[in-house]
Amino acid sequence: MESPYTQYFRTNWVPGDGDIPHLTSLIQKHSGFVDDIDSQIRALTEARKARVNFIEEHSAMLSPVRRLPDDLLSTVFLAFSIHPSYYESASTLSRSHPSVIISHVCQRWRLLALTTPSLWSRILVALPTYPTVQTLSPMYPATKYDITRDAVRRWEARMGQIQEIVGVWLSRSREHPLIVLFAASDDYQAPRAPPPVEDGDNKDTVDPFFNGFSERLSSLVGLLRNASHRWRKAHLSLELNRGNRGSELLPLLDIPTQDVPLLEALRLCLTGGDQMAVTPVLPPTYATGLLKAPTLRMLSLCRIREGLETLAGHWEFLTELEFDGYSGEGMTSTGTALYFSLAEAFALLKRCPNLVRCDLAVVKIESWLSNIANWASNSVDYGPDGVTLPRLQDLAFRVSVPGNGFASALQLPSLRTLSFIENADSDDLYLHPAPPPEDSDTSPLAEWIQCFGNQLSKCQFNYVRLTQSALEYCLERLPRLVSLRLDGSGIYFFNSSPYYGTQTRLEPAVLNDQLWEKLIPRPTLEEETVDSSQSCWCPRLEEIHISGTLGGSTFVADSLLRFIISRRNRTSGLAMIRKVKVAFGTPETMDIRKELEARKVDLEDFDLNITYPTPIRLVSHSLL
C-alpha cells in the first residue's frame, strides 16, 4: 500500500508542522476502510456460523447412533456407566455419574435411561464423617459451639441429599439385582461446648445433636437394608464403635439368609472399637445371614478380631476367597493373640474344595516375636492325603510364604498363577524383621516352585528372600512362564536386623549380569543367527516387572538392554517380550528406549516403562 511517507517508516524522523494535518487525514481515511472491513468480517462470521449450524443440525440426523435400536443403545449406555475410569473420578451421588449424564443428553436418551434399570443398579455410598469439636481449629474457642452447630446442619443436609438420591436410584433400578458399596461409621462424639439443657429434674446436659445423627444414619441404613433381597454384590466397609450399644449400622449385619437370595459376592471390612465395652464389639455370629446366602460364591474378609471358626458359612460353595487375617486386637478364648497361621490356612483350604481363586494373608507366628532364629518350628499336621483343589487357578499368599511342607501337601492340577506378596511398609519390616535369605533346600518359595513351577504361566515373588543359587533354582524351573514379577523389598533390613540370633547370615540374591545371561538366548547380537537348540530360562516369557519398593533394582541398564534386544528378535524361536516395567534404584545412565530405537529393534506393540529415583535437588545457601 503506497504512502508518501514510506521512506520514514521505522526511523526517528520527526514530522514538521505541515506534515501533521496530512498524516492525520491519511489515518482517518484508512481507519474508515478498516471499520468497513470489520463490519464485513462480522457479517461473514455470522453468515458462516449460520451455515455451520445448518450443517451440524443436518449432519446430526445422519449420526449412526441415532439409527441404533434401543436395545443396542442401552447396552452402550451400560458399558459407559461401568467403565473403570468413572470410579476414579466420580461418585454415585453426583451429577457426574454416567447415568445422570446420559439422561440429560436428549429426550430419547433420557427416556431410555430411565427405563433401563441396570443403569441405576450400582449404589456407591461413602457417608461424610460426623463433625466434632475436636476436628475444629483452636483459633475460635469462644465460638466452637456455633461453628459445630453449623457443621452439623450441613452434615444433616448432606445426609438428606444422599438418602434422597439413593431412593431415586433404588426406584429407577426397579427389581434389577444391585451392586452395593457402602462405607460408613457410627462414631459419634458429642460436642462438649453446648450450653446446658435441663431435662426435667435431670440436671445433666442433654446432647441436642445425637438424635439427628442417629435418625439420619438409621434411615439411610434402613433404605439399603430393605433392598437386600436385590443385593447381588455387596461391599460393606463399616466402622463400628458402638456395636454393643445399639449401633445404627448393625441392621446391615443382622440380615437373615432368606433376605439375601441373590447375593453372589460379599466383601466385609469391619473396623473400629468400643473402648467402653468389656465384651467384643460384635457377637461371634455376626453376619451369619450374609455368609450363609445360598448363592454366595465370592467372599472377601478384611482383618477380623474373632477366630475364623466362629464365622458360619457355606465354605464348600465358594469359588473365590480373600482373607486378610486377624487384626492386632484379636484374642482367643484363652487370652492369647490370634494369628492366621499355616495350620489355619491349610484347614481353610480344606473347607473350600471348589475354589478357583484364593488370596490369603498368612502369618508365621515367629515373625511377630523378638527372636526369629527358629523360623522352621511352625509345624502343621497335613494328614496322609493333604488337600486337593482341582479347580484352583489363581493362588496368592501375603505377609509370608507358607513352608514346612505346605506346598507338597497340596494337589493343584489347574494352578496357573502363583503370587507371594509381602508387606513393603518400612515400619512394619523394622518392627517385624524378615527372615534371612534361604537356600533352595530350605526356602519355602523353592518348595512351591519345585511343586508347581512346571505348570505356572504367571508368578510373583520377592527375590531378596532367596540366596543367589536359590533364585537361579526357581527361575530355571519356570518353563511355561508368561508373566514374571520380581519384587526387591526389604534388603536393607536383612543387613541391619538385630534379630538374627546365632543363625548364619546369607547374602540376598541380586539381578546380576550372570543371571540375565541365562535369560538371553545365545548368541545375543541381533545381527547373528540364533541357534534355537540353545536353551534359556523362561522361554515363553512375554511380560516382566521388576520393582524395589525399599531400594529399587540395582542391576545395570546394559543387562536389561541386551535382554530386550534378544527377546524382541523374531528369529530367536522364543516368545517375544511384550511388556517390560522396571523401577531402578540407581541414577539413570542410559535412555533405554532411545538405544533400542538406535539399534532398530522392533518396538511394535511393545510396552516399556522404566523409572529412576528422583535426583536430589541441590539447594543454594542463602546470602542473607
Least confident of 13-17, 86-90, 411-415: 86-90
If we measure between CA atoms, which residue out of 450, 362, 452, 447 comes closest to residue 400? 362
How far apart CA 320 and CA 471 sit, in angstroms, is 30
Task: Tell me if 596 is assigned to some domain.
Answer: yes
How far apart CA 222 and CA 233 sit, in angstroms, is 18
For residue 565, give the C-alpha cell: 534386544
Task: Tell me if 565 is assigned to some domain.
Answer: yes
How far apart CA 55 and CA 141 sit, in angstroms, is 64
Q: How confident is the model at residue 554 (pLDDT cuts 50, 70, 90)?
A: low
Phi, psi dihedrals of residue 232, rounded to the nearest 5°:
-105, -40
How far apart CA 45 and CA 334 sit, in angstroms, is 86
Taking residues 433-451, report their average pLDDT: 85
Task: Tell me if 523 is assigned to some domain.
Answer: yes
Task: Tell me if 352 is assigned to some domain.
Answer: no
Task: Tell me if 550 is assigned to some domain.
Answer: yes
How many CB atoms are located within 10 Å of the residue 38 CB? 10
Taking residues 432-456, report their average pLDDT: 86
Residue 329 has pLDDT above 80, yes or no: no
**CATH number of the domain bearing residue 530:** 3.80.10
**What's residue 351's pLDDT?**
93
Per residue in 87-124, pLDDT (tens digit) is 554 456 677 788 888 899 889 999 999 999 998 999 99
**What's residue 340's pLDDT?**
83
**Overall number of domains in the chain:** 1
DSSP 250-298: GGGT---GGG-TT--EEEEEEE---TT-SS-SS-TTTTHHHHT-TT--E
How far apart CA 188 and CA 191 sit, in angstroms, is 9
The 3-state DSSP composition of the chain as helix, strand, coil percent (nearest 5) reads 35, 15, 50
Per residue in 387-401, pLDDT (tens digit) is 999 999 999 999 889
**What's residue 410's pLDDT?**
96
Task: Tell me if 609 is assigned to some domain.
Answer: yes
Range of the domain at 534: 455-467+476-490+500-616
Task: Tell me if 525 is assigned to some domain.
Answer: yes
The whole-model pTM stands at: 0.80
**Residue in this structure with the C-alpha cell 516368545, named with its chain if needed:** 575
Task: Tell me if 462 is assigned to some domain.
Answer: yes
